[in-house]
Structure 1
Amino acid sequence: MNVSKQDIEKFIRFQRNEITESIVYERLASIEKDENNRKILHQIAVEEKSHYEILKKYTGKDVIPDRKRVARFYFLAQILGITFTIKLMESSEKNAHHNYDKYTNIPDLQRLARDEEVHEQKLISLINEERLEYMGSVVLGLNDALVEFTGALAGFTLALSDHRLIALTGSITGIAAALSMASSEYLSTKSEGDVKKRPVKAAVYTGIAYLITVAALVAPFMLINNVILALGVMLTMALIIIALFNYYYSVARGESFRKRFTEMAVLSFSVAGISFLIGYALKTFTGIEA
Structure 2
Amino acid sequence: METDSKISKKTSQTILKLQQNEITEHAIYMNLAKRVKKQGDREILQRIGREEGMHSKLWSKYTKRELKPQKLKVTIYSLLSIILGYTFVIKLMEKGEVVSQNSYALLTKEVPEAHKIYLDEQKHEEALINMLDEDRLQYVGSMVLGLNDALVELTGTLAGLSFALQNNKLVALSGLITGISATLSMASSEYLSARSEGNADAKKSALYTGVMYIVAVILLVLPYLIFPNSKYIHALVTMLIIVVLIILSFTYYISVAKDLPFKKRFLEMATISLSVAGLSFIVGILVKKFLGIDI
Superposition TM-score, scaled by structure 1 size:
0.95
In the alignment, the residues of structure 1 paired with residue 98 and residue 192 of structure 2 have an alpha-carbon distance, to the nearest angstrom, of 42
- 1:51 aligned residue: 55
SS of 1:102's partner is helix
In the alignment, the residues of structure 2 paired with residue 69 and residue 220 of structure 1 have an alpha-carbon distance, to the nearest angstrom, of 34
- 1:135 aligned residue: 140
In the alignment, the residues of structure 1 paired with residue 129 and residue 146 of structure 2 have an alpha-carbon distance, to the nearest angstrom, of 27
Report Cα offsets for 1:66-118 as digits up to 9, x if no partner. Answer: 22111111111122111111011111238444432433443421122112321
Instruction: Give aligned pairs, total.
Output: 288
- 2:175 aligned residue: 170
Describe how 1:255-270 pairs up with structure 2 within 5 A. 255-270=260-275
In the alignment, the residues of structure 2 paired with residue 146 and residue 66 of structure 1 have an alpha-carbon distance, to the nearest angstrom, of 39
In the alignment, the residues of structure 1 paired with residue 98 and residue 268 of structure 2 have an alpha-carbon distance, to the nearest angstrom, of 27
Distance change in 2, residues 1:199/1:217 (3 Å): same
Any gaps of 5 or more consecutive residues in structure 1? Answer: none
- 1:207 aligned residue: 210
- 1:272 aligned residue: 277
The yes-or-no answer on 1:23 pairing with 2:30 is no
- 1:216 aligned residue: 219
Distance change in 2, residues 1:227/1:82 (3 Å): same
Contact 2:14 2:99 in 1 (8 A): no
Contact 2:18 2:99 in 1 (8 A): no
Aligned-pair identity in percent equals 46
In the alignment, the residues of structure 1 paired with residue 102 and residue 141 of structure 2 have an alpha-carbon distance, to the nearest angstrom, of 34
- 2:163 aligned residue: 158
- 2:259 aligned residue: 254
SS of 1:103's partner is helix
Contact 2:157 2:280 in 1 (8 A): yes
> By how many angstroms is 1:259 displaced?
1.9
In the alignment, the residues of structure 2 paired with residue 277 and residue 116 of structure 1 have an alpha-carbon distance, to the nearest angstrom, of 56
Contact 1:97 1:114 in 2 (8 A): no
Contact 2:223 2:236 in 1 (8 A): yes
SS of 2:68's partner is coil
The yes-or-no answer on 1:36 pairing with 2:43 is no
Contact 1:246 1:257 in 2 (8 A): yes
> By how many angstroms is 1:232 displaced?
1.0
Contact 1:98 1:113 in 2 (8 A): no
In the alignment, the residues of structure 1 paired with residue 194 and residue 14 of structure 2 have an alpha-carbon distance, to the nearest angstrom, of 51
The yes-or-no answer on 1:81 pairing with 2:85 is yes
Q: Calculate the aligned-residue CA RMSD, in Å.
A: 1.6
In the alignment, the residues of structure 2 paired with residue 234 and residue 94 of structure 1 have an alpha-carbon distance, to the nearest angstrom, of 37
> By how many angstroms is 1:253 displaced?
1.1
Of residues 181, 186, 193 in structure 2, which corresponds to 1:181?
A: 186
In the alignment, the residues of structure 2 paired with residue 194 and residue 99 of structure 1 have an alpha-carbon distance, to the nearest angstrom, of 47
Of residues 68, 73, 79 in structure 2, which corresponds to 1:69?
A: 73
State the one-letter code of the partner of 1:85: V
The yes-or-no answer on 1:237 pairing with 2:257 is no
In the alignment, the residues of structure 2 paired with residue 10 and residue 78 of structure 1 have an alpha-carbon distance, to the nearest angstrom, of 32
State the one-letter code of the partner of 1:117: Q
The yes-or-no answer on 1:120 pairing with 2:96 is no
Describe how 1:87-106 pairs up with structure 2 within 5 A. 87-93=91-97, 95-105=99-109, 106=111
Report Cα offsets for 1:206-262 as digits up to 9, x if no partner. Answer: 111111111111111122121111111111111111111112111111122222211
Report Cα offsets for 1:46-72 as digits up to 9, x if no partner. Answer: 111111122122222222322211111
State the one-letter code of the partner of 2:226: L
The yes-or-no answer on 1:227 pairing with 2:226 is no
Superposition TM-score, scaled by structure 2 size:
0.93
Describe how 1:142-153 pairs up with structure 2 within 5 A. 142-153=147-158
